[in-house]
Structure 1
Amino acid sequence: MNWEQLLSLKRFGDTNKRLRQEQDETRLGFEVDYDRVIFSSEFRSLQDKTQVIPLSQTDFVHTRLTHSLEVSVVGRSLGRKVGQKVLEKHPHLQKVHGYLPNDFGAIVASAALAHDIGNPPFGHSGEKAIGEFFKSGKGKLYKANLLDKEYQDLCDFEGNANGFKIVTQSRAGREGGLRLSYATLGAFTKYPKESLPKKPTKNIADKKYGFFQSEKEAFQDLAKELGLKKTGDGQHISYARHPLAFLVEAADDICYTIIDFEDGINLGLIEEEYALEYLINLVRHSINTKKYHQLTNTKDRVSYLRALAINTLINEAVEIFMKNEELILEGKFNISLLDKSQYEAQINDIIKLSIEKVYQSKEVIDKEIAGYQVLNTLLEIYTKAVNNSYQGVASNYDTLILKGLPAILDLNSDSLYQRLLNVCHYVSLLSDSQAIIQYKKIRGFSF
């Protein structure tokens, strides 16, 4: 792979090549990507979607929106620092093509901003709830009429693939979705493969999948333009990652490791004495002891250590990326950047404590149980109504249900897969609160 192709400014529908040196510096294409994501309705709905604590009423616990904004900030720093070093190593990118360090930062920031845009309500348990409806719930009856990869898309409903659908799918008046640059779309796709085969290798890029069968052609067009290295066997589509996808992943890893931990401390789920010790182990070489001891409350102490930890891990990720840049461009770097970090043990200690004290806390588990019931009910009612209508046997109740669904939703496709996926896609776009409101209506609790 080569940087000239990987930094493509092309957008869906372009007939002429976009050249970097011809860009308006006050309205750079990669920065337009950021604007298009942040003004999208799908991004705004993240303000009411779970990050760690579902439906939290506190003002300091992160939602998917605040998490995404923070990941984009970290991603921008990672991109700029790597961009500066890449341009020093490959000076023709700047001298001949006009690329600047901030271009890398803008690409990573935009992709990072959108990285959770496809996540359904109730966090990762929402993905599992949708998948289990088809794998072991009432949606299993559709299996016989679906291709293997279509059924797998539904059984392992993936927020990353759903995000790719959101940013690329066309509809009337919105051809090409958000029309992001191909460079940003490449950096966005952490798992450039289809749903089958499942985890064919231990390569980090094969851990999940990045696009549904409905967007397969769109992704192949993207991969061709960017010059991504093919890793599939011909029967199955998979590619090596876009190099900047490693930075998007690192930004996400840094934020959820440190900031979810911070949420747990502020909620009182993690005891301060343990928490501070874990963070200090990560920043021991950069902490200003005098300044630290001047801080008089937990929130300020944790905030100070959090800032140091994020800065430490940013610099570490940049160093690892540049040490392995050639392997990354060859598609031979198979782990996440932080898996090679000298702080891996400290990171794992923090994640282990977060899992025990935060992710598996009673509050989280209780809300996830409720989320399963909500999503299972919505999927059962909506899929039944849509397919009964298509087959011409809709009941009055089915007709009423369909009237409550948005007109832009294509529920009359001749493809069963498309009808089912479109229902899942609609449900995934609901915020936590919207999903609960829909559930209450169906259960007759709206009066």
Structure 2
Amino acid sequence: MIWEQLLSLKRFGDTNKRLRKEQDETRLGFEVDYDRVIFSSEFRSLQDKTQVIPLSNTDFVHTRLTHSLEVSVVGRSLGRKVGQKILEKHPHLQNIHGYLPNDFGAIVASAALAHDIGNPPFGHSGEKAIGEYFISGEGQQYKDQLTDKEYQDLCDFEGNANGFKIVTQSRVGREGGLRLSYAILGAFTKYPKESLPKKPTKHIADKKYGFFQTEKEAFIDVANELGLASRGQDGDISYSRHPLAFLVEAADDICYTIIDFEDGINLGLIPEEYALEYLINLVRDSINTKKYHQLTNTKDRVSYLRALAINTLINEAVTIFMDNEDAILNGDFNISLLDKSKYEAQINDIIKLSIDKVYQSEEVVDKEIAGYQVLNTLLHTYSKAINNNYAGTGSNYDKLILKGLPSTLDLNTESLYVRLLDVCHFVSSLSDSQAILQYKKLRGFSF
């Protein structure tokens, strides 16, 4: 893979090649992409989607929206720092093509901003709830009517693939979805493969999948434009990651490791004495002990250590990326950047404590259980109504249900897979509160 292709400014529907040196510096294409994401309705819905603590009313806790904004900020720093070093190493990218360090920052920031745009309500348990409907719920009945890959898409419903669907899906008046630059679509796709074969290797790019069967051709187009290396065998679609996807992943890893931990502390789920010890172990080389001891409350102490920890891990990720640039470009780097960090032990200690005290806290578990029931009810009701309507056997109740669905759903498509995927896509677009409201309506509690 080569940087000249990987930094493509092409958008869906372009007939002429976009050149970096011809870009308007006041309205750079990669920065336009950031704006398109942030003004999209799908991004705005993240303000009411769970990050760690579902449906929390406290001011301390991050939603998917605040998490995504923070990941984009970290991603911008990572991209700019790496971009500066890449241009020093490959000066022709700047001297001939006109790329600047901020281009790398804008690509990573935009992809990072959108990285959770496809996540369903109720956090990662929402993905599992949708999958369980098809694995062990009423959705099992469709297995024999779908191809293996179609059924796997539903059983392992993936927020990353749903996100790629959102940013690329065409509909009347919105051809090409958000029409993001292909460089950003590449950086966005952490798992550039189909749902099958499942985890064929231990390579980080094979951990999950990045696009549904409905978007397969769209991703192949992106991969060809960017020159991503093909890794697929026997007709299966799989590619090496876009190098900047490693930075998007690192930005996400840094934020959920440190900031979810901070949420746990501020909620009182993690005792301060444990928390401060764990964070100090990560920032011993940069902490100003005099300044630290002047801080008089937990929130300020944790905030100070959090800032140092994020900066430490940003610099660490940049160093690892540049030390392994050749392997990354060759598709031979098979782990996340932070998995190679000298701070791996400290990071794992923090994550383990967050799992024990935050992710598995009673409040989280109780509301994830409720989320399963909500999503199962929505999926069953909508799928039944749409399929009965297609078969011409819809009841009056089914017809009432269909009136509440958005006009963008194609209720008459011949493909059962598309009908089912559209239901999952619609349900995943709901915020936590919207999903609960729809559930209450279906259960007769709207009066």
The 5-angstrom pairing of residues 82-231 of structure 1 reads 82-231=82-231
Residues 274-328 of structure 1, C-alpha deviations (whole Å, 9 max, x = no match):
0000000000110000000000000000000000000000000000000000000
1:250 alignment counterpart: 250
1:333 alignment counterpart: 333
1:426 alignment counterpart: 426
The 5-angstrom pairing of residues 311-390 of structure 1 reads 311-390=311-390
2:26 alignment counterpart: 26
In structure 2, C-alpha distance between the alignment counterparts of 1:214 and 1:408, rounded to whole Å = 16
Given that 1:131 and 1:155 are in contact with CA atoms closer than 8 Å, whether structure 2 keeps it comes out as yes
Per-residue deviation, 1:248: 0.1
Per-residue deviation, 1:390: 0.1
Q: Spell out structure 1 runs of 4+ moving beyond 3 A.
A: none
Which stretch has the larger CA shift, 167-176 or 233-242? 233-242
Per-residue deviation, 1:235: 1.6
Residues 334-361 of structure 1, C-alpha deviations (whole Å, 9 max, x = no match):
0000000000000000000000000000
Per-residue deviation, 1:433: 0.2
Per-residue deviation, 1:410: 1.5
In structure 2, C-alpha distance between the alignment counterparts of 1:202 and 1:144, rounded to whole Å = 30
2:73 alignment counterpart: 73
Given that 1:411 and 1:422 are in contact with CA atoms closer than 8 Å, whether structure 2 keeps it comes out as no
2:61 alignment counterpart: 61
Query: Taking structure 2 as the reference length, what is the TM-score of the superposition?
Result: 1.00
The answer as to 2:446 corresponding to 1:446 is yes
In structure 2, C-alpha distance between the alignment counterparts of 1:233 and 1:270, rounded to whole Å = 46
Per-residue deviation, 1:71: 0.0
1:11 alignment counterpart: 11
Per-residue deviation, 1:60: 1.5
In structure 1, C-alpha distance between the alignment counterparts of 2:412 and 2:124, rounded to whole Å = 29
1:403 alignment counterpart: 403
In structure 2, C-alpha distance between the alignment counterparts of 1:405 and 1:50, rounded to whole Å = 23
Which stretch has the larger CA shift, 234-243 or 384-393? 234-243
In structure 2, C-alpha distance between the alignment counterparts of 1:170 and 1:407, rounded to whole Å = 14
In structure 2, C-alpha distance between the alignment counterparts of 1:131 and 1:413, rounded to whole Å = 22
Residues 338-386 of structure 1, C-alpha deviations (whole Å, 9 max, x = no match):
0000000000000000000000000000000000000000000000000
Secondary structure of the 2:119 match is: coil
Secondary structure of the 2:15 match is: coil
In structure 1, C-alpha distance between the alignment counterparts of 2:225 and 2:336, rounded to whole Å = 24
Per-residue deviation, 1:234: 3.7
Matched residue type, 2:285? H
The 5-angstrom pairing of residues 266-305 of structure 1 reads 266-305=266-305
Secondary structure of the 2:244 match is: helix
Secondary structure of the 1:332 match is: coil
Given that 1:186 and 1:245 are in contact with CA atoms closer than 8 Å, whether structure 2 keeps it comes out as yes
Per-residue deviation, 1:411: 2.1
Per-residue deviation, 1:408: 1.3
Per-residue deviation, 1:412: 1.5
Residues 253-290 of structure 1, C-alpha deviations (whole Å, 9 max, x = no match):
00000000000000000000000000000001100000
In structure 1, C-alpha distance between the alignment counterparts of 2:264 and 2:280, rounded to whole Å = 16
In structure 1, C-alpha distance between the alignment counterparts of 2:209 and 2:124, rounded to whole Å = 15
Unaligned 5+ runs, structure 2:
none
In structure 1, C-alpha distance between the alignment counterparts of 2:118 and 2:29, rounded to whole Å = 23
In structure 2, C-alpha distance between the alignment counterparts of 1:177 and 1:412, rounded to whole Å = 21
Matched residue type, 1:392? G
Given that 1:46 and 1:117 are in contact with CA atoms closer than 8 Å, whether structure 2 keeps it comes out as yes
Per-residue deviation, 1:188: 0.1
In structure 2, C-alpha distance between the alignment counterparts of 1:84 and 1:224, rounded to whole Å = 26
In structure 2, C-alpha distance between the alignment counterparts of 1:124 and 1:74, rounded to whole Å = 22
The answer as to 2:71 corresponding to 1:50 is no
Secondary structure of the 1:200 match is: coil
Residues 48-85 of structure 1, C-alpha deviations (whole Å, 9 max, x = no match):
00000000101120000000000000000000000000
Given that 1:194 and 1:209 are in contact with CA atoms closer than 8 Å, whether structure 2 keeps it comes out as yes
In structure 2, C-alpha distance between the alignment counterparts of 1:302 and 1:151, rounded to whole Å = 45
In structure 1, C-alpha distance between the alignment counterparts of 2:408 and 2:322, rounded to whole Å = 45
Matched residue type, 2:404? G
Residues 372-422 of structure 1, C-alpha deviations (whole Å, 9 max, x = no match):
000000000000000000000000000000001011112211000000000
Given that 1:205 and 1:240 are in contact with CA atoms closer than 8 Å, whether structure 2 keeps it comes out as yes
Secondary structure of the 2:420 match is: helix
Q: CA RMSD in A?
A: 0.3
Number of residue pairs matched?
447
Residues 414-438 of structure 1, C-alpha deviations (whole Å, 9 max, x = no match):
0000000000000000000000000
In structure 2, C-alpha distance between the alignment counterparts of 1:304 and 1:413, rounded to whole Å = 55
Secondary structure of the 1:243 match is: coil
In structure 1, C-alpha distance between the alignment counterparts of 2:366 and 2:20, rounded to whole Å = 51
Percent of residue pairs bearing the same amino acid type = 87
Per-residue deviation, 1:227: 0.1
